[in-house]
Protein backbone atom coordinates (compact mmCIF):
# COMPACT_ATOMS: atom_id res chain seq x y z
CA UNK A 1 0.00 0.00 0.00
CA UNK A 2 3.01 2.30 0.24
CA UNK A 3 2.66 5.17 2.69
CA UNK A 4 -0.06 4.48 5.16
CA UNK A 5 -2.34 6.40 7.46
CA UNK A 6 -1.51 5.98 11.12
CA UNK A 7 -4.19 6.71 13.69
CA UNK A 8 -3.70 7.35 17.36
CA UNK A 9 -4.43 10.13 19.81
CA UNK A 10 -3.56 12.77 17.24
CA UNK A 11 -6.27 13.98 14.85
CA UNK A 12 -4.92 14.19 11.30
CA UNK A 13 -5.35 17.30 9.16
CA UNK A 14 -6.26 17.10 5.49
CA UNK A 15 -5.62 20.34 3.64
CA UNK A 16 -7.97 21.27 0.80
CA UNK A 17 -6.34 22.11 -2.54
CA UNK A 18 -8.99 22.88 -5.14
CA UNK A 19 -7.53 23.36 -8.61
CA UNK A 20 -10.86 24.57 -9.96
CA UNK A 21 -12.26 27.88 -11.19
CA UNK A 22 -15.54 27.55 -9.30
CA UNK A 23 -15.20 25.92 -5.86
CA UNK A 24 -17.35 27.67 -3.27
CA UNK A 25 -14.50 29.07 -1.15
CA UNK A 26 -11.22 29.09 -3.06
CA UNK A 27 -12.37 28.70 -6.67
CA UNK A 28 -9.82 30.16 -9.08
CA UNK A 29 -7.11 30.78 -6.50
CA UNK A 30 -5.05 27.71 -7.41
CA UNK A 31 -6.06 26.93 -10.99
CA UNK A 32 -2.48 27.88 -11.98
CA UNK A 33 -0.35 24.79 -11.20
CA UNK A 34 2.48 26.96 -9.84
CA UNK A 35 0.14 28.61 -7.35
CA UNK A 36 -1.34 25.24 -6.44
CA UNK A 37 2.08 23.76 -5.70
CA UNK A 38 2.96 26.88 -3.73
CA UNK A 39 -0.13 26.41 -1.60
CA UNK A 40 0.75 22.73 -1.13
CA UNK A 41 4.20 23.68 0.14
CA UNK A 42 2.61 26.19 2.48
CA UNK A 43 0.20 23.57 3.85
CA UNK A 44 3.07 21.17 4.52
CA UNK A 45 4.84 23.88 6.53
CA UNK A 46 1.58 24.54 8.38
CA UNK A 47 1.43 20.91 9.42
CA UNK A 48 -0.90 19.17 6.98
CA UNK A 49 -0.76 15.38 7.15
CA UNK A 50 -2.64 14.96 3.86
CA UNK A 51 -3.13 17.24 0.86
CA UNK A 52 -6.45 16.65 -0.88
CA UNK A 53 -6.26 17.63 -4.55
CA UNK A 54 -9.55 18.12 -6.41
CA UNK A 55 -10.24 19.18 -9.99
CA UNK A 56 -14.04 19.35 -10.04
CA UNK A 57 -16.21 21.54 -7.87
CA UNK A 58 -18.98 19.64 -6.12
CA UNK A 59 -20.59 22.68 -4.51
CA UNK A 60 -24.40 22.81 -4.62
CA UNK A 61 -25.59 23.52 -8.15
CA UNK A 62 -22.27 22.69 -9.78
CA UNK A 63 -21.94 20.98 -13.15
CA UNK A 64 -19.57 18.03 -13.68
CA UNK A 65 -16.48 18.48 -15.83
CA UNK A 66 -15.10 16.03 -18.36
CA UNK A 67 -12.60 13.35 -17.42
CA UNK A 68 -10.00 14.93 -19.70
CA UNK A 69 -10.45 18.37 -18.13
CA UNK A 70 -10.23 17.00 -14.61
CA UNK A 71 -7.06 15.07 -15.45
CA UNK A 72 -5.58 18.21 -17.01
CA UNK A 73 -6.19 20.08 -13.79
CA UNK A 74 -5.02 17.60 -11.16
CA UNK A 75 -2.26 15.47 -12.68
CA UNK A 76 0.33 18.24 -13.29
CA UNK A 77 -0.22 19.51 -9.76
CA UNK A 78 0.20 16.10 -8.13
CA UNK A 79 3.26 15.40 -10.25
CA UNK A 80 4.86 18.71 -9.32
CA UNK A 81 4.06 18.27 -5.63
CA UNK A 82 5.78 14.89 -5.64
CA UNK A 83 8.75 16.28 -7.53
CA UNK A 84 9.34 19.49 -5.62
CA UNK A 85 8.15 19.23 -2.03
CA UNK A 86 11.16 18.63 0.22
CA UNK A 87 8.82 17.14 2.82
CA UNK A 88 6.80 15.07 0.34
CA UNK A 89 7.88 11.87 2.06
CA UNK A 90 6.07 13.05 5.19
CA UNK A 91 2.77 14.05 3.61
CA UNK A 92 0.16 11.95 1.87
CA UNK A 93 -1.72 13.09 -1.23
CA UNK A 94 -5.36 12.23 -1.78
CA UNK A 95 -7.19 12.59 -5.06
CA UNK A 96 -10.68 13.98 -4.61
CA UNK A 97 -12.52 12.33 -7.50
CA UNK A 98 -15.14 9.66 -8.13
CA UNK A 99 -14.02 9.02 -11.73
CA UNK A 100 -11.93 5.89 -12.22
CA UNK A 101 -9.69 7.22 -14.98
CA UNK A 102 -8.96 10.48 -13.15
CA UNK A 103 -8.06 8.48 -10.06
CA UNK A 104 -5.89 6.07 -12.06
CA UNK A 105 -3.83 8.91 -13.54
CA UNK A 106 -3.49 10.59 -10.15
CA UNK A 107 -2.30 7.37 -8.51
CA UNK A 108 0.20 6.81 -11.31
CA UNK A 109 1.69 10.22 -10.48
CA UNK A 110 2.02 9.37 -6.81
CA UNK A 111 -1.28 10.04 -5.05
CA UNK A 112 -1.73 7.76 -2.03
CA UNK A 113 -5.44 7.93 -1.15
CA UNK A 114 -8.75 8.00 -3.03
CA UNK A 115 -11.32 10.47 -1.69
CA UNK A 116 -14.51 9.62 -3.56
CA UNK A 117 -17.82 11.45 -3.51
CA UNK A 118 -20.43 8.71 -3.30
CA UNK A 119 -17.85 5.94 -3.08
CA UNK A 120 -18.52 3.79 -6.15
CA UNK A 121 -22.02 5.16 -6.75
CA UNK A 122 -21.08 7.08 -9.89
CA UNK A 123 -18.34 4.79 -11.25
CA UNK A 124 -17.99 1.19 -10.02
CA UNK A 125 -14.74 0.83 -12.02
CA UNK A 126 -13.19 3.00 -9.33
CA UNK A 127 -13.16 -0.07 -7.06
CA UNK A 128 -11.05 -1.92 -9.61
CA UNK A 129 -8.54 0.93 -9.71
CA UNK A 130 -8.33 1.09 -5.92
CA UNK A 131 -7.75 -2.66 -5.87
CA UNK A 132 -5.04 -2.42 -8.54
CA UNK A 133 -3.10 0.24 -6.60
CA UNK A 134 -3.98 -1.13 -3.14
CA UNK A 135 -4.79 2.27 -1.65
CA UNK A 136 -7.15 3.52 1.08
CA UNK A 137 -10.55 4.74 -0.07
CA UNK A 138 -12.54 7.47 1.65
CA UNK A 139 -16.24 7.10 0.91
CA UNK A 140 -18.06 10.35 1.42
CA UNK A 141 -21.81 10.38 1.45
CA UNK A 142 -24.05 12.33 -0.88
CA UNK A 143 -27.78 12.23 -1.44
CA UNK A 144 -28.53 12.97 -5.10
CA UNK A 145 -26.00 14.75 -7.31
CA UNK A 146 -24.24 18.07 -6.65
CA UNK A 147 -26.45 20.02 -9.06
CA UNK A 148 -29.68 19.08 -7.24
CA UNK A 149 -28.56 17.70 -3.87
CA UNK A 150 -29.86 20.63 -1.83
CA UNK A 151 -33.40 20.45 -3.20
CA UNK A 152 -35.24 19.29 -0.07
CA UNK A 153 -33.22 16.20 0.90
CA UNK A 154 -35.27 13.76 3.00
CA UNK A 155 -34.05 11.00 5.31
CA UNK A 156 -35.89 8.49 7.44
CA UNK A 157 -33.02 8.68 9.97
CA UNK A 158 -30.04 10.65 8.72
CA UNK A 159 -27.36 8.66 10.57
CA UNK A 160 -28.86 5.24 9.95
CA UNK A 161 -29.43 6.06 6.28
CA UNK A 162 -25.84 7.24 5.85
CA UNK A 163 -24.47 4.14 7.60
CA UNK A 164 -26.58 1.96 5.32
CA UNK A 165 -25.05 3.76 2.35
CA UNK A 166 -21.53 3.11 3.69
CA UNK A 167 -22.27 -0.59 4.14
CA UNK A 168 -23.57 -0.83 0.59
CA UNK A 169 -20.52 0.88 -0.92
CA UNK A 170 -18.10 -1.18 1.17
CA UNK A 171 -19.89 -4.33 0.04
CA UNK A 172 -19.29 -3.30 -3.59
CA UNK A 173 -15.61 -2.66 -2.88
CA UNK A 174 -15.12 -5.95 -1.07
CA UNK A 175 -16.80 -7.79 -3.95
CA UNK A 176 -14.12 -6.28 -6.22
CA UNK A 177 -11.31 -7.48 -3.98
CA UNK A 178 -10.76 -4.57 -1.62
CA UNK A 179 -10.23 -5.25 2.07
CA UNK A 180 -12.64 -3.74 4.56
CA UNK A 181 -9.74 -2.14 6.45
CA UNK A 182 -8.90 -0.06 3.37
CA UNK A 183 -12.02 2.05 3.86
CA UNK A 184 -12.59 5.34 5.65
CA UNK A 185 -15.98 7.03 5.86
CA UNK A 186 -17.13 10.65 5.66
CA UNK A 187 -20.79 11.54 6.32
CA UNK A 188 -20.62 14.34 3.76
CA UNK A 189 -21.66 17.46 5.65
CA UNK A 190 -23.50 19.71 3.19
CA UNK A 191 -23.88 17.07 0.48
CA UNK A 192 -27.62 16.69 0.26
CA UNK A 193 -28.38 17.82 3.81
CA UNK A 194 -30.35 20.62 5.42
CA UNK A 195 -28.87 22.72 8.22
CA UNK A 196 -30.82 20.65 10.73
CA UNK A 197 -29.51 17.40 9.22
CA UNK A 198 -25.93 18.69 9.23
CA UNK A 199 -26.19 19.55 12.91
CA UNK A 200 -27.71 16.18 13.70
CA UNK A 201 -24.78 14.43 12.00
CA UNK A 202 -22.31 16.51 14.02
CA UNK A 203 -24.07 15.71 17.31
CA UNK A 204 -24.57 12.01 16.55
CA UNK A 205 -21.25 11.33 14.80
CA UNK A 206 -20.18 8.90 17.53
CA UNK A 207 -22.82 6.45 16.28
CA UNK A 208 -20.82 6.00 13.07
CA UNK A 209 -17.94 4.61 15.14
CA UNK A 210 -19.89 1.35 15.35
CA UNK A 211 -18.64 0.66 11.80
CA UNK A 212 -15.15 0.44 13.32
CA UNK A 213 -13.64 2.45 10.47
CA UNK A 214 -11.76 5.77 10.57
CA UNK A 215 -14.02 8.81 10.21
CA UNK A 216 -13.13 11.75 7.98
CA UNK A 217 -15.17 14.94 8.18
CA UNK A 218 -15.12 18.33 6.53
CA UNK A 219 -17.10 21.26 7.92
CA UNK A 220 -14.62 23.94 6.86
CA UNK A 221 -16.26 27.20 5.73
CA UNK A 222 -19.51 25.43 4.76
CA UNK A 223 -22.60 27.44 3.93
CA UNK A 224 -24.65 26.21 6.87
CA UNK A 225 -22.09 27.80 9.19
CA UNK A 226 -22.57 31.17 7.51
CA UNK A 227 -26.33 30.85 7.84
CA UNK A 228 -26.09 29.87 11.50
CA UNK A 229 -23.77 32.80 12.24
CA UNK A 230 -26.11 35.20 10.48
CA UNK A 231 -29.07 33.85 12.43
CA UNK A 232 -27.44 33.69 15.86
CA UNK A 233 -25.65 37.05 15.61
CA UNK A 234 -28.52 38.74 13.73
CA UNK A 235 -26.19 39.88 10.95
CA UNK A 236 -27.44 41.87 7.98
CA UNK A 237 -25.34 39.90 5.52
CA UNK A 238 -24.22 36.29 5.25
CA UNK A 239 -20.59 35.87 6.38
CA UNK A 240 -18.36 34.94 3.45
CA UNK A 241 -16.54 31.58 3.43
CA UNK A 242 -13.35 33.19 4.77
CA UNK A 243 -15.32 34.69 7.67
CA UNK A 244 -16.42 31.30 9.01
CA UNK A 245 -13.21 30.10 10.68
CA UNK A 246 -14.42 30.30 14.28
CA UNK A 247 -17.66 28.52 13.40
CA UNK A 248 -15.68 25.85 11.55
CA UNK A 249 -13.49 25.25 14.58
CA UNK A 250 -16.53 25.04 16.88
CA UNK A 251 -17.97 22.20 14.81
CA UNK A 252 -14.51 20.66 14.52
CA UNK A 253 -14.32 20.44 18.31
CA UNK A 254 -17.60 18.55 18.52
CA UNK A 255 -16.82 16.08 15.73
CA UNK A 256 -13.36 15.31 17.11
CA UNK A 257 -14.77 14.69 20.58
CA UNK A 258 -17.37 12.47 18.91
CA UNK A 259 -14.76 10.34 17.15
CA UNK A 260 -13.52 12.00 13.94
CA UNK A 261 -10.00 10.90 12.97
CA UNK A 262 -9.26 13.25 10.06
CA UNK A 263 -10.38 16.86 9.64
CA UNK A 264 -10.57 18.23 6.10
CA UNK A 265 -9.99 21.98 6.09
CA UNK A 266 -9.08 25.04 4.06
CA UNK A 267 -7.46 26.61 7.15
CA UNK A 268 -4.62 24.22 7.90
CA UNK A 269 -2.52 26.30 10.29
CA UNK A 270 -5.40 27.44 12.47
CA UNK A 271 -6.91 23.95 12.56
CA UNK A 272 -3.57 22.36 13.39
CA UNK A 273 -3.06 24.72 16.33
CA UNK A 274 -6.61 24.17 17.52
CA UNK A 275 -6.29 20.39 17.37
CA UNK A 276 -2.94 20.43 19.17
CA UNK A 277 -4.72 21.56 22.31
CA UNK A 278 -7.95 19.68 21.76
CA UNK A 279 -6.13 16.38 21.30
CA UNK A 280 -4.14 17.05 24.46
CA UNK A 281 -7.30 17.72 26.45
CA UNK A 282 -9.60 14.98 25.19
Residue 145 is given by DSSP the state -
Helix, strand, coil content of the chain in percent (nearest 5): 45, 15, 40
* Active-site residue identified among 39, 79, 143, 222: 222
* Active-site residue identified among 264, 272, 273, 282: 264
SS3 label, residue 68: helix
Nearest to 111 by CA among 62, 55, 68, 176: 55
The answer to whether the beta carbons of residues 185 and 216 sit under 8 Å apart is yes
- What is the layout of strands, in order, in the sheet containing 183-186? 183-186, 137-140, 113-117, 92-96, 50-54, 12-18, 262-265, 216-217
221 is catalytic: no
222 is catalytic: yes
**Measured between alpha carbons, how far is 68 from 102 in angstroms, rounded to an integer?**
8
Beta strands at 183-186 and 216-217: parallel, antiparallel or unpaired: unpaired
| Catalytic residue set | 222, 264
Amino acid sequence: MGKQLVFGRKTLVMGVLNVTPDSFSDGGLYIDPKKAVGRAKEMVLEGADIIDVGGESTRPGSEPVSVDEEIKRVVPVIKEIKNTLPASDAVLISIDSYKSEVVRQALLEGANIVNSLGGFLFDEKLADVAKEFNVPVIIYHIKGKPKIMQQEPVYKDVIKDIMGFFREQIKIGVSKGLKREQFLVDPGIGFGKTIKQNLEIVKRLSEIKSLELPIVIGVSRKSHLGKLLQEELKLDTLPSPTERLEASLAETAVVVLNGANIIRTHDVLQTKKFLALLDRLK
